[in-house]
């Protein structure tokens, strides 16, 4: 499996391609400064006109910012995986409390209304043995989009990476009541920091159950105190090796490391390259 986490500043976008060559994209953020868009990358670099699986962690703009353009550029999405416990109409009401919906949010709501669930080829079969497991809180127990984030565990062999969206402390604590969620945590290799590594997404309770080998933060340059959270104490061991750097790293950030590529073997061994171009 090749899994690439893109530098989209304060946003989120990652893509995974497995042995079958199917494409899964986690979130659809773009980089306003550089002009990078997942839609352009998929069509011009990957030479594809289809996303096999689109996984949306959070229905906020920084996770959706190229979705309308993706659809309008003729790239089809075969399957959508997201928090289905919040009806599209309810989600619209929640989003409108912050103002008019963007074109990307409207595109997401249309997709939510148009996709059938549990239809088509299962993810693991289509992705050549890569699996995904999703957890989320429900409405009306939670009424904010951050704590309604869909937390994804993506696994290939023994390697597992978690994408928790923007879930915050209250949402974490609710999920930690579930034994199956705690079990998934305990075997997770890489943690993509919730809410872009900000203090609101950091829940110490979660790390009583597991410590990842490394943390990845997708965010822009530090300009707020809430961004300056030290994640090193939650990492197990002495960090991970990077193919194009000396020493070992506990925390990787897109603001420093650009695009981050994980090359994962079926036996769970993996190699990480930072500032990846291609």
Q: What pLDDT, in 10s, does the model give residues 188-236?
A: 999 999 999 999 999 999 999 899 999 999 998 765 656 778 899 999 9
Q: Report how far residue 185's alpha carbon sits from residue 187's, in angstroms, rounded to the nearest whole number.
A: 6
pLDDT over 90 at 248, yes or no: yes
Per-residue pLDDT, averaged over 104-113, amounts to: 95
pLDDT the model gives residue 199:
94
The fold adopted by the segment(s) 2-273 is Metallo-beta-lactamase; Chain A (3.60.15)
At 107 the three-state DSSP class reads: helix
Work out the number of other CB atoms within 10 angstroms of the CB of residue 233: 9
Per-residue pLDDT, averaged over 95-100, amounts to: 92
Helix intervals (H) in the chain: 38-40, 61-64, 67-72, 88-96, 103-114, 123-126, 169-175, 179-186, 254-257
| pTM of the complete model beyond 0.85 | yes
Q: What pLDDT, in 10s, does the model give residues 146-155?
A: 999 999 999 9
Quick one: which of 34, 44, 43, 46 has its CA closest to 4?
46
Q: With contact defined as beta carbons under 8 Å apart, do 57 and 26 qualify?
A: yes
Work out the number of other CB atoms within 10 angstroms of the CB of residue 125: 12
pLDDT the model gives residue 125:
93
């Amino acid at each position: 499996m090749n899994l690439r986490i893109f530098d989209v500043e304060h946003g989120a976008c990652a893509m995974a391609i497995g042995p079958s060559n199917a494409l899964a994209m986690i979130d659809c953020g773009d980089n306003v400064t550089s002009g990078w868009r997942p839609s352009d990358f998929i069509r011009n670099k990957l030479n594809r006109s289809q996303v096999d699986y689109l996984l949306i962690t959070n229905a906020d703009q920084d996770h959706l910012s190229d979705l309308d353009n993706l659809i309008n550029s003729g790239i089809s999405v075969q399957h959508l995986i997201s928090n289905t416990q919040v009806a599209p109409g309810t989600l619209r009401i929640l989003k409108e409390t912050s103002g008019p919906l963007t074109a990307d949010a409207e595109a997401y709501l249309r997709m939510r209304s148009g996709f059938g669930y549990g239809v088509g080829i299962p993810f693991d079969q289509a992705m050549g043995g890569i699996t995904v497991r999703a957890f989320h809180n429900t409405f009306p127990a939670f009424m904010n989009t951050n704590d309604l984030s869909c937390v994804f565990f993506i696994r290939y062999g023994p390697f597992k990476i978690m994408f928790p969206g923007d879930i915050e402390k209250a949402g974490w604590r609710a999920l930690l009541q579930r034994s199956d969620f705690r079990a998934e945590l305990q075997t997770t290799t890489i943690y993509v920091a919730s809410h872009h590594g900000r203090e609101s997404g950091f829940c110490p309770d979660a790390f009583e159950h597991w410590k990842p080998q490394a943390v990845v933060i997708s965010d822009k340059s530090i300009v707020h105190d809430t961004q300056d959270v030290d994640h090193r104490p939650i990492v197990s061991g002495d960090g991970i090796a990077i193919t194009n750097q000396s020493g070992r790293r506990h925390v990787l950030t897109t603001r420093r490391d650009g695009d981050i590529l994980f090359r994962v073997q079926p036996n769970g061994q993996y190699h990480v390259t930072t500032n990846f171009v291609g």
